[in-house]
Structure 1
């Protein structure tokens, strides 16, 4: 294809994209009339375009849709599609700024103040789902080699990839309730942190505290347990039980020594 032909094709594609987003475009002059007028034909493409990308958002933000309801979510999805053009043919990363559209709607935020954070959490869940599932196989035998003398020098290796999120709302608990189809009483004013990871048994969203996330980040940096404060260490056993670590470095000589 010559340079001029390629330029013409790119220009046509640009004009067509503008028409799909209700922007002024000369593309209707290129559409043949028939049973339907050029504008009617473009509207058919436009509707299919909006529906297709709205379905992508529905798949990425199912909990937000469940909370907001079909009609409200559809309106937000339509607004996002028309204001955030698809930048590439692959829709895997489409929807990364949906939270901005939600946050811009004052009535929505006033009615459901936690919805923006729930959207942020769901985006991280979607990111985690793109990775290969992690096997939960922490070698609990290593725990028998931990002593008071070596504890402060030990370094725990975090099972990667893992995502963290701090919220002023209990969005991790809400995610668990919605995905598990279970209704429970939740104090919506309670702050909550979340650990997100893709496991073989499915997506894991664990409700936790900033101290737990602080400990895991310290471990990611290769820092020994002696650098952790008491609030972090208080959650160490629970994080080990939930198998967010893959092994312990710095143990004395033996089967699991470095």
Structure 2
């Protein structure tokens, strides 16, 4: 028997390419979504745990989903290596490899300004969507169960954005890939948006944790913007990429040097024109 077959499953998974691991997670999320839809149609009583403190009164398969979601959120609050994309781990010092020589202050400020402007575009669109969800709840289109299924939909859509096509990246932010994404760890709060219009420990607890994830991300960006930007952190550049999650390029393809130079020149020109 080969050595790879003797290794525990989790150790073998650790050495899979990041994109392959994320594809496996995507399939897993599809299974979770299918389970929730099945319960919604066949066993709607399983959704009773969403109300009030019923979370502690009876067991439901949705308790397993709660644990999975909680684990995903906590994983973004602890430094890891190889478990999640480096784009999600930018808040930690260990994932910073400073560009040498360091960029000028004007260049860094211009990059921060551009990143924040892009994030504000997404925030504006999401606020409109949140308002529509609230309106649907207020008018009776959505009950708690339907709002929960919407959370499940966002749970799946999150990895669609990472692996296949991201409307925020392509239409609003124009960033190169997930690794450089200004809002990578906004995924949890965006997923839990419908919980704003739900009551009960189940969704409220997850919403609170997702807010903590968001605050950790934003506070770190304010204090250490150099960790989040390619002009100051070479871990985020194509040359040093180890994730290869980018859906617009094969995993072995690198963006050519001319494109990188053009990006740097654009940032410098913007800074000098201010």
Q: What TM-score do the two structures reach when normalised by structure 2? A: 0.23
Whose helix proportion is higher, 1 or 2?
A: 2
Higher relative contact order (CA closer than 8 Å, sequence separation 6+): 2
Whose strand proportion is higher, 1 or 2?
A: 1
Greater C-alpha radius of gyration: 1
